Amino acid sequence: MIELVRDPDSVKIGFYQSVLEDAGIQTYLRNADGSNMAGVMIFDVYPALCVVNDSDVHY
């Protein structure tokens, strides 16, 4: 599993996830509820979009 992006904006993460899944790439959303913590701006709890299969990521 490879993390692609981490952002406090869950709408942006959801858009990226939709684009990837529409292309047939399986994704996983880590810390989906992290951005709902009022007033907390800690990078480690931001929603993170990951690609499940490493072979789907090309550098």
- Number of domains into which the chain is organized: 1
d(CA 32, CA 35): 7
Q: Which pTM was predicted?
A: 0.80
Structural tokens at position 7: 């952002």
Residue 40: predicted pLDDT = 59
**Domain-embedded: residue 9:** yes
Residue 8: predicted pLDDT = 87
pLDDT tens digits along 5-58: 999 888 999 999 999 999 999 999 998 876 555 565 676 788 999 999 999 988
Residue 32: predicted pLDDT = 82
Domain that includes residue 27, residue range: 1-36
**Domain-embedded: residue 44:** no
**Domain-embedded: residue 24:** yes
